[in-house]
Amino acid sequence: MSKPIVAVVGRPNVGKSTFFNKVVGRRVSIVEDTPGVTRDRIYAEAEWNNISFALIDTGGIEPDSEDIILSQMRMQAEIAMDMADVILFMVDGRAGVTASDREVANMLMRTGKDVILVANKIDTPKLPEDFYDFYELGLGEPIAISASNMLNLGDVLDLIVEKFPKDQDDEDDDTIKIAVIGKPNVGKSSLINTLLGEERVIVSNIAGTTRDSIDTPFTRGDDKFILIDTAGIRRKSKVTGDIERYSVIRAIAAIERCDVCLLMIDAVEGVTDQDKKIAGVAHEAGKGIIVVVNKWDLIEKDTKTMNKFQKDIDMQLTFMSYAPSVFISVLNRQRLNNVIDMAKYVAEKRALRVPTGQLNSLIADATMMNQPPSDKGKRLKIYYCTQVGVKPPLFSFKVNSRELMHFSYARYLENKIREGFGFEGTSIKFVFREKGEETYV
């Protein structure tokens, strides 16, 4: 099931990135007192009252600016608004209503989305004299906050969560959504067209929920799929035109709403830095990932060629060693029948639930084989573990001290869980709780 999406929009320098960082809980966006510093909207997962959602930090909007950077940020914000379930419109509570605020408010009213008006930079309980002028924007009652001091952020988050869609389409649980991602010219659209041509089960082409990405539903036997074609992602230095910037956001949004990503790599070029960045987006989002090496027909081969290429993938993409690889040629229709089968397999692993008894037996054996770390005479104790979520699999550990859970030992436990239960093609996530803390759900 897709997470709800919240977009934070507003003109430059009203505090959007500060709000974003406070909610997400880490410093993701660059915060600087200069308009336009957030060039590309940032996408991250946040949580409030055990409800997860995706938060988008946009660049500031200057509605009629002819400046290239500001106009590009406006387009990014427009796409974010298209994707969002809830829009947080942030204004500067100390500066009062500006002409730009009015223009942005008019844009937001035309979206038909739920909009929450937030007046930032109000650091005291006393409101400015012109605070109530914000009512004239036509977006309802403004909420006074101070993002930097975290004043009234809880009230805003409560309201955001209240506005999330209550009913989700049950088809989400049955239909496997597959996003084909990667740099331009690696054969993404050709792969989709060829797969659908071979299966001969195209139902229809419908516009995706993100602008200009195409969703193609199809069935194979009793299995239902949606293939999501995305524009190629290029390095920021190469993203010079408006269309290119649209493509970046479309691809990232497609990753967020899919179940499995097919990361296409050009066999001739090998794994590039941009491939690693794209893979990192899918990995951080907890999606299923399959590395699809295309144009394999162009490679001169001997008996060791595939193994050498696989070793390079493993070395370059060490953070997602769980992802299987398939070597294909779309042009020659080589190994294409493996792609959908593997996507189905990975989607099943991403939804796998492990019995608590078997899980704790495995953890007990793992701690006997390799003692937990200690510090200053105090040793880590793992009381029990339970799986509390799927898509991606999420495991909650009850421990005596989170501080003693070293990264290397968590990786050791992850490897043992993978050995015992599989989870090929999907990341798995851990949360560590001390005695007395509420269990993560």
Whether the per-residue pLDDT at 379 is higher than 70: the answer is yes
Q: Are strands 223-229 and 214-220 parallel, antiparallel or unpaired?
A: antiparallel
Q: Where are the domains of the chain?
A: 5-162, 171-350, 356-434
Q: Which residue has the higher pLDDT, 429 or 28?
A: 429
Q: How many CA atoms lie within 13 A of 256 on its CB side?
A: 26
pTM above the 0.85 mark?
no
Whether the per-residue pLDDT at 434 is higher than 80: the answer is yes
Whether the per-residue pLDDT at 418 is higher than 70: the answer is yes
Judge whether 171-350 and 356-434 match in fold.
no
pLDDT, residue 270, reads 93
Place 42 in a pLDDT band, splitting at 50, 70 and 90. Answer: low
Whether the per-residue pLDDT at 242 is higher than 60: the answer is no
Q: Which of 100-114, 202-216, 297-311, 406-420 has the lowest mean pLDDT?
A: 202-216
pLDDT > 70: what percent of the chain? 79
Place 231 in a pLDDT band, splitting at 50, 70 and 90. Answer: low
Q: Would you give the DSSP letter of residue 296? A: G
Tell me what the mean pLDDT of segment 372-390 comes to: 92
Q: What share of the chain is helix, strand, coil (3-state, %, to 5)?
A: 35, 25, 40
Q: Which residue has the higher pLDDT, 423 or 28?
A: 423
Tell me what the mean pLDDT of segment 334-362 comes to: 94
Domain 356-434 sits in CATH at: 3.30.300.20
Whether the per-residue pLDDT at 88 is higher than 70: the answer is yes
Choose which CATH entry (1.10.3720.10, 3.40.50.300, 3.40.50.720, 3.40.50.261) describes domain 5-162: 3.40.50.300
Place 62 in a pLDDT band, splitting at 50, 70 and 90. Answer: low
If you average pLDDT over every residue of the chain, what do you get? 81
pLDDT, residue 325, reads 96
pLDDT > 90: what percent of the chain? 39
pLDDT, residue 255, reads 83
Whether the per-residue pLDDT at 211 is higher than 60: the answer is no
Place 200 in a pLDDT band, splitting at 50, 70 and 90. Answer: very low
Burial of 141 (0-12, 13-18, 19+ CB in 10 A): exposed
**Cα–Cα distance for residue pair 221/199, rounded to 1 Å:** 10
Angle, nearest 10°, between helix axes 68-83 and 242-257? 30
Tell me what the mean pLDDT of segment 299-327 comes to: 92
Q: Which CATH class is domain 171-350?
A: alpha beta
Q: Hey, what's the torsion of the CAs at 109, 112, 116, 119, to 10 degrees?
A: -20
Residue environment code for 323-355, b if the CB has 16+ CB neighbours within 10 A, otherwise e = bebbbbbbeeeebbebbbebbbbbbebbbeebe
